[in-house]
């Protein structure tokens, strides 16, 4: 077996928003297939498709009602087979989302489970009796707000949901549930997928004693967070020790097919890097994992160094997958705008930065265009997070708006109909048609950096040694010996002088803002070979 995933650059496609080919305003598999040349020409190795399974779409596909079908909005199994074939012809691997911590409440498994306390699937979900006073069995909270328990009048019990109440948690303590999920994943492996992105991979098991989560300390005089979920330490509702044994079963299944992989999403505000390490160490758990550590507001040398060194120190045998943006967070160009010198300098620097990190890399559709967060109005909202916490949290619709292909086309070339989310002028201006072949564009900067990464073994192999440089400078050496590459970045919107201790060398590959007298300009970066 090869380990292609270690150096892979994975391009995340949000199917609702990539390309609509049937004219209903929602993206589809046929549209994705037609646009795969864009991903291949960019220089990526794989695509990751967010959920494409049948779903009521209350959480845009992360509420699955059939694990072995295709959502009709997106097409058919034949359309999926055509997508796989075209991707493989272009040299692209195909990774699909697996949402197996919970299902839709319309999944036949849950419909049967809630019908009585004695049916064959009665224990396939997490059911619990109320406290004597009628309250839920414990204090666990939902990521989407409020209690994670909902009362079911038929069973006279509460059921657990870490997300929407229409997303009941599967009970993986039940062996038959584990087997059913493994069977569903085998279905897709046999159909030719190259791997899985495992949603909420540390949520699979709950504490079977249903113990209360402890609260987190609060600073006097400081308002609580927007979402009360962030006020608990989630010791008992997720990241349970039983998870490891199930990950080993998933790995054994995946490894029974050649050249397949799994990447897990770790959701934890306190120790996500540690969990990434635990879940990827050795050769019998996840192939790699990612967290939200680089999906937040921090754009500082200290932060990136802490995250990367923290992972490889804690899990020298593990492997990470890094990303700056995805479908759940504000786009990084907008998120990090205080550090941007303007003229797309930060967008180009972000490409150079992430593509020089040790590990696999995930790029989110539109990132290669320097796409910014869309300003969504209340009446345009579809996301349950925004609908629940508006206006303090406007939700995730702003990063999910359609891909922009042709500036002058209807919906910027995404659809011939009104798109499910709006295409607004700031996003339209960044269309592929405006950037392809244009020197200095963000798109061409991504293409150049991806080509440089592929042609430079030090950037795709193991080994990172950080340099002790003053803020806002970030420096590290990738690789060893004659082939090593020194990577230097100025993570600020102002020029920064390199100290005399900074290594020298011959500049290679893409660069930006390289000034004389040992200075890096605003959002500057340079790669050096033969550094001292």
Main-chain dihedrals φ then ψ at residue 151, nearest 5 degrees:
-75, 135
Q: Give, rounded to a whole angstrom, the gap between the first and last alpha carbons of the chain.
A: 38
pLDDT digits (tens, 9 = 90+) for 364-422: 999 999 999 999 999 999 999 999 999 999 999 999 999 999 999 999 999 999 999 99
Q: Is residue 216 part of a domain?
A: yes
Q: Is residue 129 part of a domain?
A: no
Do 437 and 482 share a domain, yes or no? no
Q: Is residue 71 part of a domain?
A: yes
Residue 21 has pLDDT above 70, yes or no: yes
| 519 pLDDT tier (thresholds 50, 70, 90) | very high
CATH number at residue 71: 3.20.20.80
CATH number at residue 506: 2.60.40.1180
| 531 pLDDT tier (thresholds 50, 70, 90) | low
Among candidate residues 453, 476, 508, the one where a domain is terminated: 453
Classify 260 in phi/psi space as left (phi over 0), alpha (psi -120 to 50) or beta.
Answer: beta
Active site (annotated) includes residue 265:
yes
CA pair distance 240, 140, nearest whole angstrom? 14
CA pair distance 255, 1, nearest whole angstrom? 9
pLDDT digits (tens, 9 = 90+) for 334-374: 999 999 999 999 999 999 999 999 999 999 999 999 999 99
Do 475 and 516 share a domain, yes or no? yes
Do 194 and 260 share a domain, yes or no? yes
pLDDT number for residue 128:
98
HEC profile of 304-328: HHHHHHHHHHHCCCCCEEEECCCCC
Domain count, the chain: 2
Do 309 and 264 share a domain, yes or no? yes
Report the largest interatomic distance among the alpha carbons of the chain, rounded to a whole angstrom.
Answer: 78
Do 405 and 472 share a domain, yes or no? no
pTM: 0.97
Active site (annotated) includes residue 199:
yes
Residue 391: CA count within 13 A, CB half-sphere: 5
Residue 532 has pLDDT above 80, yes or no: no
Do 187 and 88 share a domain, yes or no? yes
Main-chain dihedrals φ then ψ at residue 114, nearest 5 degrees:
-80, -5
Main-chain dihedrals φ then ψ at residue 421, nearest 5 degrees:
-125, 150
3-state secondary structure of 98: strand
Question: With contact defined as beta carbons under 8 Å apart, do 332 and 363 qualify?
Answer: no
pLDDT number for residue 515:
85
Residue 516 has pLDDT above 90, yes or no: no
Give the tokens for residue 4: 């292609």
Catalytic member of 105, 194, 265, 368: 265
pLDDT number for residue 307:
96
Give residue 366's domain range.
4-102+174-453
Q: Is residue 107 part of a domain?
A: no
Any residues with CB less than 8 A from the CB of 361 and at least 6 apart, and which?
8, 9, 10, 321, 322, 323, 354, 355
Do 441 and 474 share a domain, yes or no? no
Do 433 and 507 share a domain, yes or no? no
Q: Which of 30, 27, 110, 19 is nearest to 64 (CA)?
A: 110
pLDDT digits (tens, 9 = 90+) for 165-187: 999 999 999 999 999 999 999 99
Residue 329 has pLDDT above 80, yes or no: yes
Do 216 and 333 share a domain, yes or no? yes
pLDDT number for residue 118:
97
Q: Is residue 497 part of a domain?
A: yes
Classify 6 in phi/psi space as left (phi over 0), alpha (psi -120 to 50) or beta.
Answer: alpha
Q: What mean pLDDT, rounded, does the chain reach?
A: 97
pLDDT digits (tens, 9 = 90+) for 197-253: 999 999 999 999 999 999 999 889 999 999 999 999 999 999 999 999 999 999 999
Do 24 and 61 share a domain, yes or no? yes
pLDDT number for residue 449:
98
CA pair distance 2, 5, nearest whole angstrom? 8
Question: With contact defined as beta carbons under 8 Å apart, do 103 and 56 qualify?
Answer: no
Do 342 and 382 share a domain, yes or no? yes
Please state, for a pLDDT cut of 90, what percent of the chain lies above it. 96
Question: With contact defined as beta carbons under 8 Å apart, do 15 and 49 qualify?
Answer: yes
Question: Strands (DSSP E) along 324-396, which ranges?
Answer: 360-364
pLDDT number for residue 47:
98
| 501 pLDDT tier (thresholds 50, 70, 90) | confident
Question: With contact defined as beta carbons under 8 Å apart, do 259 and 194 qualify?
Answer: yes
Q: Is residue 419 part of a domain?
A: yes
Among candidate residues 418, 453, 488, the one where a domain is terminated: 453
Catalytic member of 199, 293, 367, 368: 199
């Amino acid at each position: 077996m090869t380990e292609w995933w270690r150096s892979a650059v994975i391009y995340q496609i949000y199917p609702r928003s990539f390309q609509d080919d049937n004219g209903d305003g929602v993206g589809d598999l046929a549209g994705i297939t037609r646009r795969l040349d864009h991903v291949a020409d960019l220089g990526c190795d794989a695509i990751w498709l967010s959920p494409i399974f049948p779903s009521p779409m209350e959480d845009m596909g992360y509420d699955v009602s059939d694990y072995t079908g295709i959502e009709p909005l997106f097409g058919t199994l034949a359309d999926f087979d055509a997508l796989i074939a075209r991707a493989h012809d272009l040299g692209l691997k195909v990774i699909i989302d697996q949402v197996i911590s919970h299902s839709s409440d319309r999944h036949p498994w849950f419909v049967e489970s809630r019908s009585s306390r004695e049916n064959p699937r009665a224990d396939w979900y997490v059911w619990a009796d109320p406290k004597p006073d009628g309250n839920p069995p414990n204090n666990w909270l939902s990521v989407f707000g409020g209690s994670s328990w909902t009362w079911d009048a038929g069973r006279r019990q509460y059921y657990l949901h870490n997300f929407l109440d229409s997303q009941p948690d599967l009970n993986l303590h039940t062996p038959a549930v584990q087997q059913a999920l493994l069977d569903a994943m085998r279905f897709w492996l046999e159909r030719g997928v190259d791997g899985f992105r495992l949603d909420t991979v540390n949520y699979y098991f709950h504490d079977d004693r249903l113990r209360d989560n402890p609260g987190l300390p609060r600073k006097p005089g400081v308002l609580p967070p927007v979402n009360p979920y962030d006020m608990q330490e989630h010791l008992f509702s997720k990241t349970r020790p039983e998870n490891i044994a199930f990950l080993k079963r998933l790995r054994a299944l995946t490894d029974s097919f050649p050249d397949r992989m799994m990447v897990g999403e770790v959701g934890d505000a306190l120790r996500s890097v540690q969990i990434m390490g635990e879940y990827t160490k050795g050769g019998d758990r996840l192939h790699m994992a990612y967290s939200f550590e680089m999906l937040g507001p921090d754009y500082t040398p200290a932060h990136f160094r802490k995250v990367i060194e923290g992972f490889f120190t804690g899990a020298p045998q593990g492997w990470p997958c890094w990303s700056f943006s995805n479908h759940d967070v504000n786009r990084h160009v907008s998120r990090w705008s205080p550090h941007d010198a303007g003229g797309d300098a930060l967008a180009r620097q972000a490409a150079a930065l992430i593509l020089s990190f040790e590990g696999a890399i995930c790029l989110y559709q539109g990132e290669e265009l320097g796409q910014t967060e869309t300003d969504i109005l209340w009446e345009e909202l579809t996301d349950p997070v925004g609908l629940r916490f508006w206006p303090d949290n406007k939700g995730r619709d702003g990063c999910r708006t359609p891909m922009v292909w042709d500036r002058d086309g209807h919906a910027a070339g995404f659809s011939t109909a009104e798109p499910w989310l709006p295409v607004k002028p700031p996003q339209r201006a960044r269309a592929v048609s405006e950037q392809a072949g244009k020197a200095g564009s963000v798109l061409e900067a991504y293409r150049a950096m991806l080509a440089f990464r592929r042609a430079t073994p030090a950037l795709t192999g193991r080994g990172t040694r950080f340099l002790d440089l003053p803020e806002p400078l970030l420096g590290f050496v990738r690789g060893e010996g004659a082939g090593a590459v020194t990577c230097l970045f100025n993570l600020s919107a102002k020029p920064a002088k390199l100290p005399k201790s900074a290594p020298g060398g011959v500049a290679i590959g893409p660069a930006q803002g390289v000034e004389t007298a040992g200075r890096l300009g605003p959002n500057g970066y340079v790669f050096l070979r033969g550094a001292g």
